[in-house]
Amino acid sequence: MRGYTRWPGYLIHVTETCDDGAVNLVTDVATTVATIKDSEALGDIHSRLGQRGLLPAEHLVDGGYATLGQLHAAHRQQIALIGPIGNNSSWQKRANTGFARTDFTIEFDKHQVTCPQGKISGNWLETESPGQPPTVIVKLNERQCDPCPSCASCTRSREGRSVNFPPRHLHELQQGNREHQDHPHWLRAYGSRSGVEGTVAEFVGGHGARRCRYHGLAKTHVQHVLTAVAVNIERLHNHARPDHRDRQTTALQQYLITRELPIPRWWGGH
């Protein structure tokens, strides 16, 4: 169609090492369509790292990757997934007078839950759907909730209150992440993840990764992989020559700089 422009978008997911005293190298690059959630890409990233023998003991990720399902999957692969976990967003949590899930006492050994008013439910059901983390569903029936004076602060259902939460090992992982992520020690450790933001900036600013040179997901992924190879070569080169300095600008480049004229990217060298 004449005069019609269509821009397909892709996301690049970059994984790199961040060990102290070592060169930070890109170990995996994933390219997905823009509509794919970050968390949906993490499983394939771990699969590829496992095939290469590069699975990390700890994986620092952005909040978009740190879902309960990914915590569960990473735990099964013996990976400590570290990232900010979102808080409960239910209306009970948002209301100052509401009873959120954290207000209920969960007794995993007894398979029962005690509500803030002291009523106990033994209606314990463990479910697991394909592609979803396992979930425990506990329900207090209408005979327990209807005469309760705090019912309006607890549930809007006439059939009683249901409380959903993950099994013990996932519950402890989730709660542990939420409790630790405000601690200075956790913040210092997680601060290493900011390095990958610099790597993404390096992809974009130094190698033009924001624009695709070819059409289609497969060719775009090849571009991203080659860009990662170039970044790794540059880092290894600079590490092997710590006394290396950037070469001086040429007379023509200096002329363009003093007059604030644009310099083509390929003129800049090291």
Q: How far apart are CA 206 and CA 200, in angstroms?
A: 10
Has residue 32 got a pLDDT over 50? yes
pTM across the whole model: 0.72
Q: How far apart are CA 216 and CA 214, in angstroms?
A: 7
User: Which of 11-15, 197-201, 257-261 is least confident?
Assistant: 257-261
Q: How far apart are CA 232 and CA 203, in angstroms?
A: 11
Has residue 51 got a pLDDT over 80? yes
Per-residue confidence (pLDDT) for residue 161, from 0 to 100: 85
Has residue 269 got a pLDDT over 50? no
pLDDT greater at residue 161 or residue 232: 232
Assigned token pair, 187: 């913040």
Assigned token pair, 176: 């542990």
Per-residue confidence (pLDDT) for residue 248, from 0 to 100: 65
- At residue 33, the 3 state secondary structure works out as strand
116-147 confidence digits (pLDDT tens) = 888 888 788 888 877 777 889 988 887 777 77
